[in-house]
Amino acid sequence: MRLISWNVNGLRACLTKGFGEYFAQADADAFCLQETKMQPGQADFSPAGYEVYYNSAEKKGYSGTAVFTRRAPQSVRLGIGVEEHDHEGRVLTLEFERFFLVNVYTPNSQRGLTRLDYRMTWEDAFAGYLCGLDAQKPVVVCGDMNVAHQEIDLKNPKSNVQNAGFTPQERQKMTALLQRGFVDTFRLLHPDERDRYSWWSYMSRSRERNIGWRIDYFLVSERIRHNVRDADILDQVPGSDHCPVALTLEGMDEE
């Protein structure tokens, strides 16, 4: 089973930059998007053979998630069931027979860390949500989680310690989530690989120079780590300031 996750930084814009062609080439069983920045019906993209589910922000042109899936889910949930956190379209959960697929666009703590306190509240609520699902069946979590977990996950760690996405508080929340029974699939298979990033600033030719951050993830429940066959960062795919990340699972097909 091949899964792809991509922060497209506006699906309508990405469609003008080759998204449709890449989607067809990728041949994913499920393709998860973050930062769609749209309401359903605002983009003309309905690939044959896929069902599509959206969770859009109440604020137009902001945030939002979507999943294109070849197999019909047993159920679909918008948000995490916490009113405070369910206005920005940040979580979309599809339940399949063997696992939950959770697509997330984690809030950015913003310049000056103006949203760090909210981010901490969000992190606790989201971790609780994931653990509640994990108690029922294994979980696959993907998306832009807006944190470079370790120094290896960004080009310039020393100069970014107090910047959004690399604060000690955000990194600790990721550590705590992993300690509650989840595995970072890229680091599972590539524990020491450096200079692999999924986001680059549009400034200073950052992508060309590979001055980036790894902030897009596939996490899985600890008990299905043995089902992970491949985890990759598709850093040659253009169209956004992020690139897609991919996961291949074996033994998780429907019975």
105 is catalytic: yes
Write the CA distances from 136 to 77, 98, 190, 250, integer angstroms: 15, 10, 29, 20
Nearest-angstrom CA–CA distance, 73 and 55: 15
Look up residue 139 and give its two tokens: 């979980």
Nearest-angstrom CA–CA distance, 68 and 64: 14
22 is catalytic: no
Catalytic entry in 53, 54, 105, 197: 105
Residue 77 main-chain phi, psi, to 5 deg: -125, 135
Nearest-angstrom CA–CA distance, 104 and 217: 10
Nearest-angstrom CA–CA distance, 124 and 16: 37
Write the CA distances from 211 to 33, 48, 61, 128, 232, integer angstroms: 23, 37, 28, 33, 18
Q: Three-state SS string across 110-158, please?
A: CHHHCCHHHHHHHHHHHHHHHHHHHCCCCEEEEEECCCCCCHHHECCCH
Look up residue 69 and give its two tokens: 């899936």
Catalytic entry in 144, 153, 184, 216: 144
Residues labelled catalytic: 105, 144
